[in-house]
C-alpha cells in the first residue's frame, strides 16, 4: 500500500507530504481544487508519460515519490530479473521531470525504464476512473475477471507455458518446411553443381601441392644442374670448400693460440674447434644438396599431368565464381553435406510434427479444464453480481456471462462476453451496447468488490466512480467501498457526502492565492474539520447549523 506520498513542483502544487493509512481514505475538494492534479501525480508513479507543462516552477524540476509497503512477494521475480534491490517488500518509486520535459524514473534509487516501472506499478496500485469504466466492455478484461474468480492463475500459467512451447514447435516446423521447399526448388542446380565438382574432386591444400610440383618439374634440368654445381663446389671437387678448410686445419694444427689471445673463456670453443665446426656444417650442407640434386628428375608425363590439373582447378574457381580455391572446396563439401541430409530433414520434420500433435492434444485437455472452471465461476459471478448490484438502483438487472468456445489462443479457447438487461422485457445485450455511464460505474464497483481479494492488489483508487448517483444508492456504494477497504487500502475521490462519511481518514484538496500564484494544498482532516467539509458538500459554500448537524449525524451514523 502507499505509505508516504511526496509531490514537489507539480502543476498547482509547490510541495505536499502525506502519510497515508490503510482502509478507506476519502479525497474531497471543490471542482478545480486540484484533485485531478493529485491523480496525475500518482499516475506518473504508475509509468504514465509526461511533458514539461506540469512544472509549477520552470526554474526547478518536479519530483513525485511514493513509498509502498506490504508489497506482494510475486513482484520479487521482476526485481530479481532486473537487478533491483528488494528491501523486505518496501518499494520507493520516484519520477523526476526536468524543465525540458525529459523525465527519469527510479525504483529503490535504481534508474528504470517506463515499461519496467509500469510492470512493477501494475502490482502496486489499481486506478479506476470514469474513463476506466470502458475497460469493462472489453472481452480481455471480462475474461480476466472470470479467471480471477475461478482462481485460474496456476492452470493458466501451466497452459501458457505449454502454448508457448507449441508456438515454438510450429515455428520450427514452418522454418524447416520452408527450408526444404527452397532446397527442392534449387535441387536440380545444386545436383548439377555437385556432379561437376565430384568429377573435379577438389581437396583442401591440393592446389598448393600441385603448384609446387609443377614449379619443380617445369625447371627440373636447371634446378638439378644448379644444385649439383653447389654440391660440387662445397664437397666434391679437388678445390672444394671442404678440402680447403681441411688444408687450413692441417696448417694450424698444433699451434697454441692462447699465446696470442690468452686462455679461452670457459665454454668458448678454440679457433681449431670453430674451424672443425664449420667443416662439419658445410659437409652436411653439401650432402643435402647432393641428395636433392640426385632426386630431381625430368618427367614430361608428370609435368603434363600437373599442368592439366592446375588448369582444371583454376577453371573451376572461375566457372563457379568462387573468390579463391578454398571457397571452391567449401562449396563442394557443403553440397556433399546437403545431399546427405535430405532424409534427415524429413525425419526431423516428422518428429517435430509428432511432438506438436501430442502437445496440441495436451493443450486441448488443459484448455477444456480451464473452460470448465470458467463456466463454474461465471455462474457464481452472475448470481453474486446481480445480488450485489440490485440494491444500487439496478433492481431489474439481469446479467449473463456468455462463453464462446473457439480455437486455442494464449488464454485458452474461450471468448467472454458480458450480457446485460437493465429494464424489464429488455433482451440481454452486450454490456457496451446497453449500459449507461452510471450503470457501468455501479457494475464496476460491484465487480471490484467481488474480485478485490482475488486480485490481491494492495491499493485501489476510485476516481469519482460514484458520479451520477445520490441518496440511498450513494450510501450503499460508500458502504461497498468501505467493505472493500477492510482488506486493502482504498482511496475514493468523491463529491458525495454519503460516500465521504464512510472513510477511515479524509484528505481535503484545496487551493488558495499566494502572491501572484494560485497553489493547491492537501490537508488531513480531523473530526471537526470533517464535519465542516461534509456540511459544505451538503449545502454548498454557505454552511449553516442544519448542515453541520446533518454532517455530524452522517459521520456518527
d(CA 227, CA 274): 26
User: How many domains is the chain built from?
Assistant: 2
201/291 same-domain check: yes
Flag whether 414 is in a domain.
no
17 and 102 fall within a common domain:
yes
Residues 88, 200 share a domain = no
pTM for the predicted model, two decimal places: 0.64
| Residue pair 22/484 in contact by the 8 Å Cβ criterion | no
Assigned C-alpha cell, 455: 486480485
The residue segments making up the domain with residue 100 are 1-124+457-525
Q: Which phi and psi (to 5°) does residue 446 adopt? A: -60, -40
422 belongs to a structural domain: no
Find residue 106's DSSP bridge partners.
94, 111
Residue 357 belongs to a domain: no
Question: 3-state class of 229 per DSSP?
Answer: helix
Identify whether 224 is part of a domain.
yes
Query: Using one digit for the tens of pLDDT, what is the confidence trace for 233-261?
Result: 988 888 888 999 888 888 888 888 877 77
Domain edge (last residue) among 311, 339, 367: 339
Residue whose C-alpha is closest to residue 377's, from 170, 195, 142: 142
The widest CA-to-CA distance across the chain, in whole angstroms, is 145
> Is 293 a member of any domain?
yes
Residues 106 and 197 in one domain: no
Pull the grid cell for residue 288.
643435402
Instruction: Indicate the pLDDT class of residue 105, thresholds 50, 70 and 90.
Output: very high
Of 339, 371, 396, the residue at which a domain comes to its end is 339
309 and 206 fall within a common domain: yes
* C-alpha to C-alpha distances, 396 to 365, 426, 438, 439, 448, nearest whole angstrom: 39, 10, 15, 12, 21
Query: Distance between terminal CA atoms of the chain?
Result: 28
Of 309, 339, 369, the residue at which a domain comes to its end is 339
Rounded CA separation 442/130 (Å):
11
In a domain, 515, yes or no: yes
Least confident of 79-93, 300-314, 438-452, 483-497: 438-452
- What percentage of the chain has pLDDT greater than the value 70? 95
In whole angstroms, give the CA distance from residue 534 to residue 475: 14
Q: Are residues 196 and 295 in the same domain?
A: yes
Q: How far is CA 126 from the centre of its chain?
A: 23
- Residues 213 and 106 reside in one and the same domain: no
Number of neighbours of residue 227 by Cβ within 10 angstroms:
19
> Which CATH number characterizes residue 513's domain?
3.40.50.300
* pLDDT at position 436: 77
Residue 263 resides in a domain: yes
pLDDT at 146: 93
Tell me the pLDDT band of 51, cut-offs 50, 70 and 90.
low
Within a domain: 350: no
Up-side HSE of residue 12: CA atoms within 13 Å toward CB? Answer: 21
> Residue for cell digits 515499461?
115
Amino acid at each position: 500500500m502507499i505509505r508516504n506520498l511526496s509531490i514537489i513542483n507539480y502543476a498547482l502544487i509547490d510541495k505536499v507530504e502525506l502519510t497515508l493509512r490503510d482502509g478507506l481514505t476519502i479525497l474531497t475538494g471543490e471542482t478545480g481544487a486540484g484533485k485531478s492534479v493529485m491523480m496525475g501525480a500518482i499516475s506518473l508513479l504508475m509509468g504514465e508519460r509526461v511533458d514539461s507543462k506540469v512544472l509549477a516552477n520552470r526554474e526547478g524540476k518536479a519530483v513525485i515519490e511514493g513509498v509502498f509497503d506490504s508489497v506482494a512477494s510475486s513482484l520479487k521475480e521482476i526485481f530479481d530479473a532486473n537487478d533491483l534491490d528488494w528491501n523486505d517488500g518496501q518499494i520507493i518509486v520516484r519520477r523526476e521531470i526536468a524543465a525540458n520535459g525529459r523525465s527519469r524514473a527510479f525504483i529503490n534509487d535504481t534508474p528504470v525504464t517506463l515499461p519496467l516501472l509500469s510492470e512493477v506499478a501494475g502490482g502496486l496500485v489499481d486506478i479506476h476512473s470514469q474513463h476506466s469504466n470502458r475497460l469493462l466492455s472489453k472481452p480481455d478484461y471480462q475474461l480476466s475477471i472470470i479467471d480471477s474468480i475461478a482462481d485460474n492463475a496456476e492452470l493458466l500459467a501451466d497452459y501458457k507455458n505449454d502454448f508457448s512451447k507449441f508456438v515454438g514447435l510450429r515455428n520450427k516446423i514452418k522454418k524447416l518446411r520452408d527450408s526444404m521447399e527452397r532446397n527442392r526448388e534449387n535441387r536440380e542446380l545444386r545436383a548439377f553443381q555437385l556432379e561437376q565438382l565430384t568429377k573435379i574432386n577438389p581437396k583442401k591444400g591440393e592446389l598448393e601441392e600441385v603448384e609446387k610440383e609443377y614449379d619443380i618439374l617445369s625447371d627440373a634440368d636447371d634446378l638439378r644442374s644448379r644444385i649439383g654445381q653447389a654440391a660440387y663446389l662445397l664437397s666434391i671437387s679437388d678445390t672444394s670448400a671442404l678440402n680447403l678448410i681441411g688444408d687450413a686445419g692441417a696448417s694450424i694444427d698444433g699451434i697454441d693460440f692462447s699465446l696470442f689471445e690468452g686462455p679461452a673463456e670457459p665454454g668458448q670453443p678454440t679457433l681449431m674447434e670453430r674451424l672443425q665446426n664449420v667443416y662439419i656444417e658445410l659437409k652436411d650442407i653439401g650432402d643435402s644438396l647432393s641428395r636433392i640434386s640426385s632426386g630431381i628428375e625430368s618427367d614430361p608425363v608428370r609435368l603434363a599431368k600437373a599442368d592439366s590439373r592446375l588448369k582444371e582447378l583454376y577453371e573451376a574457381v572461375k566457372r563457379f565464381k568462387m573468390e579463391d580455391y578454398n571457397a571452391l572446396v567449401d562449396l563442394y563439401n557443403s553440397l556433399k553435406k546437403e545431399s546427405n541430409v535430405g532424409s534427415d530433414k524429413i525425419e526431423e520434420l516428422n518428429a517435430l510434427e509428432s511432438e506438436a500433435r501430442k502437445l496440441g492434444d495436451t493443450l486441448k485437455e488443459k484448455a477444456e479444464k480451464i473452460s470448465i472452471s470458467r463456466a463454474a465461476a461465471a455462474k457464481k459471478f452472475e448470481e453474486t453480481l446481480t445480488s450485489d448490484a440490485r440494491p444500487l438502483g439496478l433492481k431489474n438487472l439481469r446479467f449473463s456471462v456468455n462463453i464462446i468456445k473457439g480455437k486455442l489462443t494464449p488464454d485458452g479457447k474461450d471468448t467472454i462476453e458480458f450480457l446485460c438487461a437493465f429494464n424489464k422485457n429488455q433482451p440481454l445485450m452486450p454490456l457496451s451496447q446497453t449500459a449507461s455511464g452510471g450503470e457501468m460505474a455501479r457494475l464496476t464497483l460491484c465487480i471490484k468488490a467481488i474480485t478485490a481479494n482475488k486480485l490481491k492488489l494492495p491499493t485501489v483508487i476510485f476516481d469519482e466512480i460514484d458520479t451520477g448517483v445520490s441518496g440511498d444508492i450513494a450510501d450503499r456504494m460508500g458502504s461497498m467501498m468501505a467493505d472493500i477497504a477492510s482488506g486493502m487500502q482504498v482511496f475514493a475521490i468523491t463529491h458525495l457526502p454519503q460516500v465521504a462519511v464512510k472513510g477511515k481518514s479524509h484528505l481535503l484538496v484545496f487551493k488558495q492565492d499566494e502572491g501572484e500564484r494560485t497553489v493547491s494544498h492537501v490537508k488531513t482532516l480531523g473530526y471537526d474539520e470533517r464535519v465542516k467539509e461534509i456540511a459544505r458538500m451538503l449545502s454548498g459554500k454557505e454552511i449553516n447549523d442544519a448542515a453541520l448537524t446533518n454532517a455530524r449525524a452522517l459521520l456518527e451514523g
